């Protein structure tokens, strides 16, 4: 393997060892603090367009397997590690990390001080970065990096183009795909839901025609301001069908009800974020991956803040005071991460059942 450079927008340059695909890429650089779950993270579509740094020093030791994909075609731009395991050891292992990244056309860099890099990102905030091979004209790469405008159509790039079913025998759920993780489908399948996945820009009338018992708004990448069409859809179905939003879905549900969102300095990306349920004081350790959050400022009267992050007190969950609708900023589907909050899927089932019972009683 040759040498590879990681060039940051602030002028910092790291030199390391190349692995994965042999190509130059530019994207937003972020870090993930998880100790395991690199396959789930790399294949999580919420990392679309981003260069993903793992703070845990050894990545790839248990390989890549068929069970832990969160999407079939990952769209993160690159992977940064301190050390990648050349030999993987696990009974489920099918590919090494290097083989996997080559197959998915994702370049990697190893052997750099990821702690120093993480400190820079924490200090300066997320920024643009380039992964390039040593030997390419450095000044040209730096000029190109400064001139690069990162895309804002992340959700459009990765959302399904046509609706498709994930058949079940129970409650009928429409899942709006803003960049969904397969683990959401797994949690719904465990509860025997009959799921129809629809594109991010599906109109409210089309969703209502599917006669769902409930609608889920999935996670996804980027800025919630970039998909204004989703807000009209949410407003048009709210009150008519129970709604459960996760991550991007939470931000869009909050915005549809008048809340504001903002870009965080370096976001929450990891599996150890402690979240407090305000009503009960219950604390869950949660899996998170987001760079934007819902603001407490001018918070709409109709919404109630149900959860907050213990460290920075950011809004982690909301519920509508009158309509059967709620959302959370974290991933109750976990994968990877703790399963403390998977009960929220059961709450969604109860919400749908209660709504149907009430409708029948009217």
- Give the tens place of pLDDT for each residue, 122-143: 999 999 999 999 877 888 899 9
Determine which one of 177, 268, 331, 340 is catalytic: 331
Q: Pick out the residues of the known binding site.
A: 46, 220, 222, 248, 251, 289, 291-292
Residues placed in the known binding site for L-glutamine:
46, 220, 222, 248, 251, 289, 291-292
* Structure-block tokens of residue 242: 């129970």
Tell me what pLDDT residue 216 has: 98
How many CB atoms lie under 10 A from the CB of residue 72? 8
| 3-state DSSP assignment of residue 262 | strand
Q: Domains plus CATH for the chain?
A: 3-150 (3.50.30.20), 155-361 (3.40.50.880)
CA gap 186, 55 in Å, rounded? 28
Choice between 134 and 56, residue whose per-residue pLDDT is larger: 56
- How far apart are the C-alpha atoms of 111 and 80, rounded to whole Å? 9
pLDDT for residue 357 = 87
331: annotated active-site residue: yes
Collapsed DSSP state (helix, strand, coil) of residue 301: coil
Active site residue 313: no
Of 68, 98, 177, 333, which residue is the catalytic one?
Answer: 333
User: DSSP string covering 206-226, please?
Assistant: HHHHT--SEEEE---SS-GGG
pTM, two decimals, is 0.96
The residue annotated as part of the active site, out of 247, 284, 320, 340, is 247
């Amino acid at each position: 393997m040759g040498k590879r450079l990681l060039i940051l927008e602030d002028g910092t340059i790291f030199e390391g060892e190349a692995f994965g695909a042999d190509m130059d890429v530019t994207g937003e650089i972020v870090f993930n603090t998880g100790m395991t779950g690199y396959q789930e993270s790399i294949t999580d579509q919420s990392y679309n367009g981003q260069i993903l740094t793992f703070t845990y020093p050894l990545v790839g030791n248990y390989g890549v397997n068929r069970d832990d994909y969160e999407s079939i075609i990952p769209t993160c731009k690159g992977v940064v590690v301190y050390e990648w395991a050349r030999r993987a050891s696990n009974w489920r292992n099918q590919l090494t990390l290097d083989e996997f990244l080559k197959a998915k056309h994702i370049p990697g860099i190893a052997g750099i001080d990821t702690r120093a890099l993480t400190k820079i990102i924490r200090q300066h905030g997320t920024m643009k970065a380039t992964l390039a091979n040593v030997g390419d004209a450095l000044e040209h790469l730096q000029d190109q990096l400064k001139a690069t405008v990162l895309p804002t159509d992340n959700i459009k790039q990765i959302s399904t183009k046509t609706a498709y079913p994930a058949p079940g025998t129970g409650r009928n759920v429409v899942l709006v795909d803003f960049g969904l993780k397969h683990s959401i489908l797994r949690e719904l399948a465990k509860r025997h839901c009959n799921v129809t996945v629809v594109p991010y820009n599906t109109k409210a009338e089309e969703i209502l025609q599917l006669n769902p018992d409930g609608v889920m708004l999935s996670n996804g990448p980027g800025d919630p301001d970039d998909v204004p069409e989703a807000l009209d859809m949410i407003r048009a179905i709210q009150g008519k069908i129970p709604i459960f939003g996760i991550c991007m879905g939470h931000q869009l549900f909050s915005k549809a009800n008048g809340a504001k969102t903002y870009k965080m300095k370096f976001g929450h990306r990891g599996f150890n974020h402690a979240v407090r349920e305000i009503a009960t004081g219950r604390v869950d350790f949660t899996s998170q991956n987001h760079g934007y959050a819902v603001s407490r400022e001018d918070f709409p009267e109709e919404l109630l803040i149900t959860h907050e992050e213990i460290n920075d007190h950011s809004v982690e969950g909301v519920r509508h005071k009158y309509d059967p609708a709620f959302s959370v900023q974290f991933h109750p589907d976990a994968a990877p991460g703790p399963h403390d909050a998977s009960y929220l899927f059961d709450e969604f089932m109860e919400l749908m059942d209660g709504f149907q019972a009430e409708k029948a009683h009217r």
